[in-house]
Amino acid sequence: MPHRSMPALLAATALTTLAALASPSLAAEPLAPIRLNQVGVLESAGKLAVLPDASTSPLAWTLENKDGRLVAKGQTRVVGPDAASGESLHQIDFSAAPAGYGYRLKVGQRTSRPFAVDAHPYARLKRDALAFFYQNRSGIAIEARFGDDPKLARPAAHAPDRATCFNGQDQRGQVWAGCGYELNASKGWYDAGDHGKYVVNGGIAVWTLVNYHERLSALGRKADFADGSQRIPEAGNGVSDLLDEARWELEFLLRMQVPQGTAMDLPIGKQGQGQLALTPVDASGMAHQKLTDAYWTGVPTAPHEDPAQRYLFHPTTGATLNLAAVAAQCARVWKDVDPAFSARCLKTARSAFDAARRNPEIYAHSQFNGGGGYGDGELSDELFWAAAELWATTGEAAYGEVVRASPHMPAAGKPAEAPGWGSTSTLGVVSLALSDKVPAQVRDAARAGLEAAADRYAAEGLQAGYRLPDAGTRYVWGSNGVVMNRAMVLGLAYDFTGKPAYRQAAADAMDYVLGRNPLDQSYVTGWGARPMKHPHHRFWVGKGKYPAPPPGVISGGPNNTAFSDEVAKKMQGKCAAQTCWTDSIDAFTQNEVAINWNAPFFWVAAFLDEGR
């Protein structure tokens, strides 16, 4: 489900014609006949390349080293017609190849680019993926010394980010009364290519970063990203740089809470597309859905150039449960790092959870210009997630009762699902699987649910022509984020079971986004022979005073379910699922970037770099 409001994105105030700013062409490097990971094939996993070819018989292949000497040879495996790519495929398994560089695969007259087999191809990539978040910080100057391109530096924007509630008519004529207070909701990360900040998308993104740290600690392993390992202002403060980066977002989220003693007219229950019925409620402790501009700004617009009035938009139950969940996670992770901050997080988590229970059906509405709606009509998963996080933090039976009563409660034979901003129950399952505060049978059931999901994703990978953990033909807005979230579930299941097939399937997911796909495209800026170059972003335009994107930014990826931008419209009905993508700043349905996609991309790159 797209997280952007279609009418708003297409508004004349939002998007100008960008043909003069960036070419929609893929890349200067020509298409290679043999498709494989362009960054480096992971030495400790199986090694696979894909050859589009209509032959129904196996073909002979050879692998030569940098000196042209034969290292391995074999026969391709015939896959045949592949609906997702629209191609007829062969797979080349060269898993016996040792570490080295300058390798070339050959099939007849067709030759791959030179490539490496490397023990740690993602050692730098994981740090670039994490640096994405610093580069998208709100409320602080982005310094040249912390980036690869001096043009990435920019003055502090939205500092402070003070706003009151939207008051006036929305796009459908609904009148909102506003509120009698302002919040200083400074800090946080800009959500995507625009300058909005959203609680529901910030929740899953920051949870994913903190979970990477927490899982290593829970499993008794030394966490990477020690103090000073990242290029951020907080380096040298004695705290993990990963936690420092996550805290920047948490500080924003904690500030989005409605003050105590606040009554507000809000829409209760699922209502139609007409005028909303607003009812006075006690909104104390709820979380505002988002803080965005009053209208969509044009492209390009740097954050510090943003001229628009900014508003808080009405609190929702979904945002409130997101706040409760990540604040509870914060409380246990920062307990020994910063006890005062931990206590603040726990107090916020409790009050937000109570507020959501008091107001269980206040849904988001997307009829506002200037920001995505993140509408979600099913909140049982958010309730489960928040209760699970609080149970894992406090061990208190009251939260356990909510978890046990939920339809999302882990049970034998019940697989978890890959998480997404609108499907958060698996985040709670993961925290239960890591917790020593919940009963052992609950922890075991959570781990079994992750294992069942991993079994499914690994099996799908073996069915997919390009060997990624998704055998379907429906690629949604942010499909690369879906693939990375599946890979994260696979990584967690590997933690608990040690089954090599799970780690292999996660490695296959990374191979896919880094070039083993029908477009021969690395969907990551700065990495690979054909990297993504022109994301939909208001600052990373790459023309004039505006910088090109930093390395380590993942594209949303192929999308054959939404064709609402002008680039995509021309492709509708003409592209196979995995080829509905263009490297164009205009292609927001295909080439947008966002915090909730870079977070699992970071997680998976870091997981694979652990070398287990």
User: Residue 166 and residue 294: Cα distance in Å, rounded?
Assistant: 8
What phi, psi does 325 have (nearest 5°)?
-65, -50
536 is catalytic: yes
Nearest by Cα to 245 from 126, 125, 336, 134: 134
244 is catalytic: no
Angle, helices 595-609/479-497, rounded to nearest 10 degrees: 40
CA atoms within a 13 Å half-sphere pointing along the CA-CB vector of 68:
0
**For the range 388-391, what are the long-range contacts, defined as Cβ-Cβ under 8 Å and sequence gap of 24 or more?**
388/325, 388/427, 388/428, 388/429, 388/431, 388/432, 389/324, 389/325, 389/326, 389/328, 389/329, 389/349, 389/427, 389/428, 389/431, 390/324, 390/328, 390/349, 390/350, 390/353, 391/432, 391/435, 391/437, 391/438
Nearest by Cα to 491 from 325, 332, 610, 410: 610
Residue 235: DSSP 8-state: T
Active-site annotation holder among 213, 408, 536, 537: 536
Residue 518: DSSP 8-state: T
Q: Name the token pair of 385.
A: 């997630």
CA atoms within a 13 Å half-sphere pointing along the CA-CB vector of 248:
25
194 is catalytic: yes
Active-site annotation holder among 161, 194, 382, 451: 194
**Residue 252 host element (H or E):** helix 241-254
282 is catalytic: no
| 208 in Cβ contact with 481 (< 8 Å) | no
Q: Sign of dihedral through CA atoms 561, 563, 565, 570?
A: positive
**Residue 101 host element (H or E):** strand 100-107
**Residue 110 host element (H or E):** strand 110-111
- Give the CA angle between residues 179, 183, 185 to the nearest 5°: 140
User: Residue 128 and residue 142: Cα distance in Å, rounded?
Assistant: 15
Nearest by Cα to 604 from 276, 130, 119: 130
Q: Name the token pair of 282.
A: 């006690």
Active-site annotation holder among 214, 376, 583, 586: 583
Q: Name the token pair of 56.
A: 């129904």
Nearest by Cα to 310 from 139, 154, 565: 139
Nearest by Cα to 385 from 326, 336, 334: 326
| 267 in Cβ contact with 276 (< 8 Å) | yes
SS3 call for 312: strand
| 392 in Cβ contact with 346 (< 8 Å) | no
Query: Active-site residues: which are they?
Result: 194, 536, 583, 592
